[in-house]
Structure 1
């Protein structure tokens, strides 16, 4: 399994980074974890063909995590000429939120004839879901987004990849990360507290409890970026757009 960081910023592009998006290539295909508004830019930079991606898993319904689906649709229709099916998996309401956003930004977009099947599936809290050989378990976290927000635990090719989504500290992060080969963890702040987000001063003392083999910090805001040299631990690295890792 190979991870490519497509976007690693907070919602505001701090540090000139792109919004949240991770590409995973495995023996059975390719999928995305989250799809911020800049995702197509990042895929283009990395030379990744969107038509090779069969599934997009969305952690929560904030624009910097799902709104790239709108541009994805337009690109699939008019540029990529997509013909292969696409499944979007997300919180309850993902289909309705996507359609509302698409119609607000590109009126009539959802009514355009498609040459590909577009399907939406929704999580059930804490219940594993299988999609084209990928098993994902959604753990409820604390990050208001108009729908339930989730941390996601993926089981692929005998490996475990976990993602915190956006959240303040909650105990459900422990079963999400426990035993994971890689835990991608949002870290908006260094010691600054931002409600419904994590910071390094909270993450660092809990690394042992989380129990992941490796941790990749993402979603860094300005204060975290300014202190990145102080966020040091043997199992911890900081995400950069374009970073590639074998898992």
Structure 2
């Protein structure tokens, strides 16, 4: 499994980083995990052919994780002229949210006669599934239920597991999310300021011993976290970073 971090930024592009967007390559399949508002720029800059992506999987419905979907679909229709089926997956309500985003961003687009089949899959903690040849497990995170349910995911293929928190404050659900994973990509928005819906580095280090994974990468870093450039035991994500599992 190969994970390319096309976007490692927060909602506001702090540090000039793109919104969250991860390209997962597993065997012959390719999927995107989140597709934030700036993701079409990130995809173009990285030279990623959208028609080669079979699945878009979302952690929650905030713009910096979900806001690129409408442009992705309209570009597929009129520019890339996609014919391959596309799966759009995420928490409960993903189809309703997708249609609403289309109508908001491109009025009338929700009733397009798409030149490619679109299927919607709801992924929940109670119903693990398989997408693009990858086993997917969802875990409930603590972020903003108005944009949710908010979820983290474990992606497993050929004995390798990649875990991603999405956006969350500290929650005990991070423990099983990380358990035995080859790598955990975890949000770390602030250095030591405790927030109700985001994780800070001081809290993360306090719980480090509970996260049974050998490799932690910090992402979704805000200005406060980015200002701390000292060496840490954990890696810091950056746009274009590749994780080979």
- Per the alignment, residue 110 of structure 1 pairs with 110
1:62, 1:145 within 8 Å by CA — same for their partners in 2? no
- Per the alignment, residue 222 of structure 1 pairs with 223
- Per the alignment, residue 67 of structure 2 pairs with 67
TM-score (normalised: structure 2): 0.96
2:30, 2:132 within 8 Å by CA — same for their partners in 1? no
TM-score (normalised: structure 1): 0.95
- Per the alignment, residue 204 of structure 1 pairs with 205
- Per the alignment, residue 245 of structure 1 pairs with 243
1:73-124 deviations in whole A, cap 9, x for unaligned? 1110111111101101111111111111211111111222211111111022
SS at match of 2:35: coil
The reply to whether residue 135 of structure 1 matches residue 101 of structure 2 is: no
2:100, 2:110 within 8 Å by CA — same for their partners in 1? no
SS at match of 2:230: helix
2:6, 2:42 within 8 Å by CA — same for their partners in 1? yes
SS at match of 1:170: coil
Q: Show structure 1 runs of 4+ deviating over 2 A.
A: 124-127
* Distance in 2, Cα, partners of 1:132 & 1:222: 35
Q: 1:225 to 1:126 in 2, by over 3 A?
A: farther
- Per the alignment, residue 196 of structure 2 pairs with 195
- Per the alignment, residue 177 of structure 1 pairs with 178
Deviation at 1:126? 4.0
* Distance in 1, Cα, partners of 2:127 & 2:107: 36
User: Within 5 Å, which residues of 2 pair with 1:1-247?
Assistant: 1-146=1-146, 147-229=148-230, 232-233=232-233, 236-247=234-245
* Count of aligned pairs: 244
* Distance in 1, Cα, partners of 2:132 & 2:34: 17
* Distance in 2, Cα, partners of 1:197 & 1:209: 18
Deviation at 1:132? 3.3
Deviation at 1:19? 0.3
Unaligned runs of 5+ in 2: none
* Distance in 2, Cα, partners of 1:126 & 1:178: 18
RMSD across aligned positions (CA): 1.2
SS at match of 1:228: coil
* Distance in 2, Cα, partners of 1:101 & 1:145: 17
